[in-house]
Chains A and B, each alone.
Chain A
Amino acid sequence: GEDVEQSLFLSVREGDSSVINCTYTDSSSTYLYWYKQEPGAGLQLLTYIFSNMDMKQDQRLTVLLNKKDKHLSLRIADTQTGDSAIYFCAESLMNRDDKIIFGKGTRLHILP
């Protein structure tokens, strides 16, 4: 079935690295995404990775994909107060990339 799981909360000190983890069940995922939702705002696509890649880095963001374990992670280096948001892991499936399947979201809280 189609299922994306992620922990609901994460607290990190400002300046530390944040690692948000996600697992998914469908092996036919084509793309995996990380979306960010700030309070009162819509979902913003942060980054995505194609399912045949292991890693993608974009400035402070590093995405790691372990396809064998169906595990995706998002690492945010040097976490800032502006990173406080809900982060959604999501996937699209082969031949169904018109539909994105989301996890419940991880609320990232930044400690001073």
Chain B
Amino acid sequence: EAGVTQFPSHSVIEKGQTVTLRCDPISGHDNLYWYRRVMGKEIKFLLHFVKESKQDESGMPNNRFLAERTGGTYSTLKVQPAELEDSGVYFCASSHARTGLPSTDTQYFGPGTRLTVL
């Protein structure tokens, strides 16, 4: 079974440009999460999709960030316009069920996209 995949693995853009990150969750996983790790800091939750609906977007930093999950499969995270402080590693995770038990709710993480804004 393929794991969570993310594209691109690394993106370097200039301040003011737009970047779109993509996440393909594990097939059949309804839950999809975005997290971000800014250099030297903790990994922070951004948002959570259940299928195509945003369940919780409390971690989204500001309105320059837009996440979508049309059709409830893959998700995109667009940053427009990018700022220097957006640099970091963006992780995507997916999980199958929502039973409250880590054994079934385990979030499987992708390798991350490293975003560098110059």
**Chain A residues within CB distance 8 Å of chain B:** 4, 30-31, 33, 35, 40-45, 48, 88, 90, 92, 97-105
Of the listed stretches B11-19, B77-85, B98-106, chain A binds B98-106
Q: Is the CB of A99 within 8 A of B3?
A: no
Contact with A along B88-107 (1 / 0, CB 8 A): 00010100001010100111
A-B pairs under 8 A by CB, number: 57
Cβ contact of A98, chosen from B41, B48, B112, cutoff 8 A: B48
Residues of B within 8 A of A44 (CB): 109
- In the assembled complex, 11 residue pairs joining A and B whose CB atoms fall closer than 8 Å, in A order, are A42-B108, A43-B43, A88-B43, A90-B43, A97-B105, A98-B48, A98-B56, A99-B33, A104-B42, A105-B42, A105-B43
Q: Are A4 and B56 in contact (CB under 8 A)?
A: no
- Residue of chain B at shortest CB distance from A45: B106
Q: Which residues of B contact A48 (CB under 8 A)?
A: 102
Of the residues B3, B45, B55, B98, contact of A100 by C-beta under 8 Å: B45
Tell me if B25 is interfacial: C-beta within 8 Å of chain A: no
